[in-house]
Chain A
Amino acid sequence: QIQLVQSGAEVKKPGASVKVSCKASGYTFTSYAISWVRQAPGQGLEWMGWINTYNGNTKYAQKLQGRVTMSTDTSTDTAYMELRSLRSDDTAVYYCARINVWGQGTLVTVSS
């Protein structure tokens, strides 16, 4: 069965970094791009960027350029999203997605 399983919740201080993982199973990992989407508490969905899992090419939302890095490890079929210089408004549930398959979400809380 095709699934994306994400790492667990994180609590970070302002200015810190967080790295969320997304392990794929049930399909050929390098055949589909992975997007990252976040959702602040009580808010809508915000696309963060995506990574071509075949060649590693990335595209990021302009507002996150310079703070976000998406990467993959094809030996473990895992995608990663690292966000740096965290602020309180980065508090959100972060999802990885392969179009019609989404991870369970990872809550990242940024608080002093």
Chain B
Amino acid sequence: DIVMTQTPLSLSVTPGQPASISCKSSESLLHSDGKTYLYWCLQKPGQSPQVLIYEVSSRFSGVPDRFSGSGSGTNFTLKISRVEAEDVGIYYCMQGIYPLTFGGGTKVEIK
């Protein structure tokens, strides 16, 4: 199975400041169909997870443009350009090649 490793484990951010989370996969996530199946999810406290970004850098409808994803192959990054209070929660990267696996999560809190 592909192992997903996220860093850091936690992040404390001042509102309005940027934040960045790294995710590394044990194998390339570039599929034979040319797509890279890397997703970013956010689980807010007490809520179900929500998927913010698919295929490395595409935002789902309704996701603020302060969230951006980048990377290729085995190295990926989620950036929040200006953190807001509503962004607190645990962020997970997830790879979409069978069997799907998740990173261990990065807890983001506000200073």
Contact = CB atoms under 8 A, between A and B. Distances in A.
B48 interface: yes
Contacts of B110: none
Contact of A44 (B51, B100, B104): B104
A37 B102 CA distance: 10
A100 B50 contact: yes
Nearest to A99: B51
A28 interface: no
Interface in B40-66: 41, 43, 48-51, 54, 60
A47 B102 contact: yes
B54 A44 contact: no
B89 interface: no
Given A45-B92, A95-B49, A100 B99 contact: no
Give the contact-size bracket for chain A.
Answer: 10 to 19
B102 A45 contact: yes
Contacts of A97: 49
Contacts of A102: 48-51
Interface string A37-48: 100000011110
A21 B50 CA distance: 20
A10 to B, nearest CB: 17
Contacts of B49: 37, 45, 95, 97, 102
Contact of A47 (B54, B100, B104): B100
Nearest to B61: A100
7 contacts: A44-B102, A47-B99, A62-B1, A95-B48, A100-B51, A102-B49, A102-B51
Given A45-B43, A50-B100, A102-B50, 7 more contacts: A37-B49, A45-B49, A47-B102, A61-B99, A97-B49, A100-B60, A105-B48
Interface of A: 35, 37, 44-47, 50, 59, 61-62, 95, 97, 99-100, 102-105
